A = this chain, B = another copy of it.
Amino acid sequence: MSNRLKVELPGLSLKNPIMPASGCFGFGQEYANLYDLNKLGSIMIKAATLEKRRGNPTPRVAETSAGMLNAIGLQNPGLEHILQHELPWLEQFDLPIIANVAGTETADYVEVAKEISKAPNVHALELNISCPNVKCGGIQFGTDPQTAKELTAAVKAVSSVPVYVKLSPNVTSIVDIAKAVEEGGADGITMINTLVGMRLHEKTGKPVIANGTGGLSGPAIKPVAIRMVYEVSQAVNIPIIGMGGISNVDDVIDFLSAGASAVAVGTANFVDHFVCPTIIEQLPAKLDELGYDNITQVIGRSHR
């Protein structure tokens, strides 16, 4: 039964293609109080930076139509703490962890990637070149193909595990960035990060989020994400982990159809805290309904 959901990706032998997206699931502890994390395919843990980061001032989130804005600002306890506490704690689960790596310059990224990729349960890195919520950090790597390629190559050179690069949708041509990171040696792509947006206070007209802008996520952005996965999957030969607005099993089928080999669920975890296990439970029946034996048969069917 669970065999039908199995997906093999560089570094990642996934019992199913469903995982929480980075930043929406912390390091797993909180959701472990709600359900058995072993049900998941993987976990994309919260971004790790070299030093502990305090993140942005609050408010950090705001509601929008069928979505939300966030400007957490990569708050995290820092590489050392993650290596000593969060990752060892996660070892109790049979989970290949994907570690989200962030930084403000190449040296940071390289240092974090090198160290965190040595952790026994980290089976892949997710190189975050697309966080819109930190000044001089992340996103500029994700908007220029050459820079993206170079960073990918630098990280790839030191990583002990396959490297997936997380792309920003805030670009004129995401295909160009995708091709560049493939050339840089990326083993896979994760996409999309959030769209840069803003909400204003009704009364004052000032931004609701202290940071001004925030990253838009949730069902609102799904059509943009699907379009991008559809395009990128045709342009590169490395696998894609798709995300952006997934909140139910039909959304998962859409991303796989468009060409993703696995998917991540972000914002929906805040709305239905059991959304990941629920989707995993519903997948086999959905495969029956669509007439597929195996989840891998769904991957890329839009293009066939």
Taking Cβ atoms with an 8 Å cutoff, the residues of A that contact B are 64-67, 69, 143, 170-172, 195-200, 202-207, 213-214, 216, 218-224, 226-227, 230, 245, 250, 253-254, 257-258, 290, 298, 301-302
* Complex partner residue of A221 from B199, B206, B220, CB under 8 angstroms: B220
Which residue of chain B lies nearest to A223 when distances are taken between CB atoms in the complex?
Answer: B197
List, in ascending order, chain B residues with CB within 8 A of A213's CB: 227
CA distance A272 to B200 in the complex (A): 24
List, in ascending order, chain B residues with CB within 8 A of A170's CB: 172
Minimum CB–CB distance for A134 against chain B, Å: 16
**In the bound complex, do residue A253 and residue B172 qualify as a contact, i.e. CB atoms below 8 Å apart?**
no
**In the bound complex, do residue B220 and residue A198 qualify as a contact, i.e. CB atoms below 8 Å apart?**
no
Known pairs A205-B298, A230-B198, A257-B205; A64 contacts B223 (CB<8 A): yes
Known pairs A200-B258, A221-B220; A65 contacts B64 (CB<8 A): no
Minimum CB–CB distance for A233 against chain B, Å: 12
Known pairs A66-B220, A67-B220, A69-B223; A253 contacts B196 (CB<8 A): no
List, in ascending order, chain B residues with CB within 8 A of A220's CB: 65-67, 219-221, 223
List, in ascending order, chain B residues with CB within 8 A of A290's CB: 203
List, in ascending order, chain B residues with CB within 8 A of A203's CB: 290
List, in ascending order, chain B residues with CB within 8 A of A254's CB: 199-200, 202, 205
Which residue of chain B lies nearest to A212 when distances are taken between CB atoms in the complex?
Answer: B230
Minimum CB–CB distance for A45 against chain B, Å: 27
**In the bound complex, do residue A227 and residue B198 qualify as a contact, i.e. CB atoms below 8 Å apart?**
yes
* Complex partner residue of A227 from B143, B196, B221, B258, CB under 8 angstroms: B196
- Jot down 15 A-B pairs with beta carbons below 8 A, ordered by A: A65-B67, A65-B218, A66-B67, A66-B219, A67-B223, A69-B223, A170-B172, A196-B227, A198-B230, A198-B258, A200-B257, A202-B250, A203-B290, A207-B302, A216-B224
List, in ascending order, chain B residues with CB within 8 A of A301's CB: 204-205
